[in-house]
Structure 1
C-alpha cells in the first residue's frame, strides 16, 4: 500500500502554515531545520489546550510519544525525527484536524504553527429523476443530484466543461442535493462533488432516467 507524505515548511512566530491532506494519507510537519543543536529540546502540542503529544530530546537522542492523550487518537500514528525535529502523522483521520504547535528550546528559542485540515474521501454523487412528462418540445425532466454525510464540499452540475449551477455544503449528517430541470437531454451532463483536494463525478445516464431529443435546453432551479 502506498502512503503519500506531504512535507510542509515550518513557520516562525505568529504565522500559521495551512496544510491540507486526504484521510488515510500521512503528513510530515517540517521544522525547516537541517540539523538540531545538541541542547535542543522540542515539544509538539495539539489543539486549543495545547496537549503535549511528543517530545524530542536531542541531548538524550530520545523521542517520547504521549500515546494515551486525547483518548488515544494519536496512538501508533506519530513519528518524531530527532535530527530535524519533524513530526509525521501516519494514516491521518479527520479527528486530527486542528492546530499543531512546536517549540524548540535551547541556545535558541523557536516556535512554529501548522493548521492541518484532513478531508474525508468523497462518495460518488447519486443522480435520480423526480418527475418527467411530455411536452411539445420533447421530454420534461427534473433531475436531482444528491450526496449524504459530507461537509466542506461543493456540489455542481456541469454540461461538458461548463458550470451550470453549484451549492456549498457545510453540514454533516444531512442529505444535500442540487436540481437540474431540462426539456431535452444529451449525454454531456454530469454532477461533481469536490473539496479543495479531490473530487467525484457522476455522469448522467440519459437512457435510465429521461427520454432524449435532438435539441438541448436547460434551466437551473
Structure 2
C-alpha cells in the first residue's frame, strides 16, 4: 500500500524525536513506513542524506537538488524495498523486516541539521488459545495462553470491558491468564496484542464449558 503524505501517525513502534514525522500504512513485519525529511519540497542547493545505524553506520541514499536538476542516489547493496522521494526527500521502506530496526539519520549537509528516527519493527502477535481447567457449581475455570514476544499483552474482556491482563519481559515464556466464568455471564473474549496488531478468541461460556468448538476471529489494529 503506497503512502501519499507524511504525517505524524506512528502505527509502527516508532519513537521519533521532537519534530520527526513518520507515516505507517501497515504495522509490523511486511508493512510500510515513510520517514519524512521535513520538506514539502527540497530547497534548491540542498544535499539530503539518509544513514542507517545498527551495529555500524551505513549510507543508504542521497538527494541532490541543484538548479534544473534533482538527483537520487542509493548507496550500498541494491535494496528494492527503499524509495527516496526526489520531491521532498522522504524515505519509504516497504515489506518491513525486523532487520530494518535501528536508527535512521536524516542530514541536510548544507545546513548541518540532522534528524534521527528510532525504528523497531515487531513480529505479529501469535494466536491465543483457550482451554478449560475445570467446572464446579456453575463456575467454569478456563485459561488463555499465547506465545510471548516483544511488547505482547494478554487480556480478558467481558463485553467491551477489560477485566484482567498480563505481560512479561521474559519473551522465552508463554503468557497465561486464568479466568473464572460464572453461570450468569455468557460472553468473554481473550485478546493477545502488541503495537503491531492483535488476535482475538471470542467464545460463548456454554459452548466452551460443554466442550464445543471455539470461534476464532482475527482482528488487526
TM-score by length of 2: 0.75
Specify whether residues 179 and 90 from structure 1 end up closer, same or farther in structure 2 by C-alpha distance, changes over 3 A only: same
Structure 2: gaps (5+ residues): 9-16, 212-221
**Displacement of 1:183:** 4.4
Aligned to 2:136: 134
Bigger Cα Rg? 1
Instruction: List gaps (5 residues or longer) in structure 1.
Output: 213-221
The change in CA–CA distance for 1:155 and 1:6 in structure 2 (over 3 A counts) is farther
Which residue does the alignment assign to 2:57?
50
Q: Relative to structure 1, is the Cα distance of residues 105 and 78 closer, same or farther in structure 2, using a 3 angstrom cutoff?
A: same
1:63 equivalenced with 2:72 (yes/no): yes
Q: Which runs of 4+ in 1 moved over 4 A?
A: 3-6
RMSD: 2.9
Q: Is the 8 A contact 1:192 1:202 kept in 2?
A: yes
Match of 2:45 among 39, 44, 47: 39
**Structure 1 residues 3 and 58 mapped into 2: Cα distance closer, same or farther (>3 Å)?**
closer
* Alignment match, 1:181: 180
8 Å contact kept, 1:143–1:181: yes
After superposition, the Cα gap between the structure-2 partners of 1:111 and 1:76, relative to the gap in structure 1 and judged at 3 Å, is: same
Aligned residue for 2:217? none
Q: Which residue of 1 aligns with 2:114?
A: 111
Under a length normalisation based on structure 1, what TM-score does the superposition of the two structures give?
Answer: 0.75
SS at match of 1:25: coil
Deviation of residue 211 (structure 1)?
A: 4.7
1:128 touches 1:143 (CA, 8 Å); kept in 2?
A: yes
Instruction: Give the equivalent residue in structure 1 for 2:80.
Output: 76
- Cα separation, 2, equivalents of 1:182 and 1:173: 29
Shift of 1:185: 6.2
SS of match in other structure, 2:42: coil
Contact 1:50 1:101 in 2 (8 A): no
Q: 1:5 to 1:35 in 2, by over 3 A?
A: closer
